[in-house]
Amino acid sequence: MKRIAIDMDEVIADFIPKHLGRFNGTYNENITIEELRGYYLEDLRPQLKEEIWSWQTEPAYFRDLPVMKDSQEVIKALSERYEIFITTAAMYIPASFTAKYEWLKEHFSFLNDMNFVFCGDKSIIQADYLIDDHAHHFKRFAGQGILYTSPRNCHETGYVRVNNWREVEDYFLR
């Protein structure tokens, strides 16, 4: 059975609405998702980088993120034909472990939690495919990288790209 590794933030967990909402509320701004095309939020406000990053170190920050539309249904269907691993680079934010694990158990309870991988360098993942919004994870990954569209990566080229979970479904199941 082939393996699909799937990133968490901005792939199955919709990180941007909470992050952008908190920024706009905290700093009385009105930055839109469209303005993030090609950028991280901290690229637009580099003087606030430390404050923006500090939110993510709050232990419960990742616990209440919305689920990406159609991801549960498509991943459930994929799990009938593929071995599924959720691979999150949580080592960048170790305080996120518990919240991310609880979030996965709540929203993807049909997956084996022994297939939840909390790592840093994803090149260690032995899978046939990696669906991720960060193209740098593909550089040393031995399998096929599939770039999941995020505002920040809209200018990345040279990778198979999917824009939503229905396109993931088409790629793997049709």
Side chain identity at residue 84, one-letter code: I
Q: Which residues touch 174 (CB under 8 Å, ≥6 apart)?
A: none
The rounded distance, in Å, linking the Cα atoms of 27 and 51 is: 11
86 closest CA partner among 68, 66, 100: 100
Residue 9 bears catalytic tag: yes
The rounded distance, in Å, linking the Cα atoms of 118 and 121 is: 10
List 9, 64, 70, 128, catalytic entry:
9
The rounded distance, in Å, linking the Cα atoms of 107 and 122 is: 23
The tokens 């960060």 sit on which residue?
134
Task: Show which residues are catalytic.
Answer: 7, 9
